[in-house]
Structure 1
Amino acid sequence: MTASAPTRAERTPLRSMLVGGLVPTLPLLVVVPLLAWAAAGEWAGVSAALGAVISLVVFVLGVVGIRGVLAGPTATTMAGAFAVFVVQMGVLAAVIWSLGQTTWLEVVPLVIAFVLVGLVFQAGLVVGYLRSRSTLDVQLPGSAA
């Protein structure tokens, strides 16, 4: 009797995108606040940490929102994905504005962390999506082999 290989979790594009976004972004949650703290003081570090965490949460929720887009009609997939991205940008802008009204927060480190984490997460999503695609080797009827 032979032992079967352990089953591996199914690699879906959504899962690959989420992992692709999280892996390069998680170290930034530590590095960016530490750099801001070293460059401009403790409140800059706190502000950068807050910006990085909020940005990551908004973008992860956006990936979850993409599930709903993908469950809808195929013809609206690109428009739905763009709508999710626009909502994410609106939420981030509203959060930055509202946090900017406080007296303790330093806006520049917050915004730098927002943008940096957001760009790295989005790049990771693209890489994760590209890695999840599988090639097709199809022989069409009448084509030469």
Structure 2
Amino acid sequence: MTSTAPTRPRRTPLRSMLLGGLVPTAPLVVLVPLLTWAAAGPWAAVSALLGAVISLTVFVLGVVGIRGVLAGPTTATMAGAFGVFVLQMAALAAVIWSLGQTDWLEVVPLAIAFILVGLVFQAGLVVGYLRSRSALDVAMPGEGR
């Protein structure tokens, strides 16, 4: 009796991008608030944790939104991607404005954590995308091999 090896799920560019963004940012969600707590106290750490979680959530939802855009017609891809970006920025503006109305929030740790996690996530997206690409070896007409 022979058994076949289980097949691995196909690695799509979006999956690679999502993993590329999540893997380096997950430790930051814990590390940045801990360092903030040591440097500025517990309420600054709560603010940093909130900034990191909001940033990670918004950017992960953006990747999910892009997935929906890519499933649609190709003529609307750029407009759809821009729409996802605008929705991300509007959601961020609303959340940050509403949090800014509170008395307990410290804006500087929130902003630093938000920007740091966002930049690392975006860099991870690029790395994930580059890793998902496969090389093509195409012979052009008139080219001898």
TM bin (shorter chain): over 0.9
The answer (yes or no) to whether the contact 1:13–1:129 under 8 Å persists in 2 is yes
1:17-96 superposed matches below 5 A: 17-96=17-96
The answer (yes or no) to whether the contact 1:96–1:111 under 8 Å persists in 2 is no
Query: For the residues of structure 1 that align with 2:87 and 2:130, how far apart are their CA atoms?
Result: 24
The answer (yes or no) to whether the contact 1:29–1:52 under 8 Å persists in 2 is yes
Aligned CA-pair RMSD: 1.5
The residue number in structure 2 matching 1:116 is: 116
Cα displacement string for residues 18-62 of structure 1 (whole angstroms, at most 9, x for unaligned residues): 000000000001011011111111000001001111111111111
Structure 1 unmatched ranges of 5 or more: none
The answer (yes or no) to whether the contact 1:32–1:49 under 8 Å persists in 2 is yes
Structure 2 unmatched ranges of 5 or more: none
Query: For the residues of structure 2 that align with 1:128 and 1:138, how far apart are their CA atoms?
Result: 24
With normalisation by structure 2, the TM-score equals 0.92
SS in 1 for 2:79: helix
SS in 2 for 1:35: helix
Which amino acid letter does the alignment assign opposite residue 5 of structure 2? A
The runs of 4+ residues in structure 1 deviating greater than 6 Å are none
Shift of 1:2: 4.6
Count residues with an aligned counterpart: 145
Shift of 1:81: 2.0
With normalisation by structure 1, the TM-score equals 0.92
Shift of 1:90: 2.3
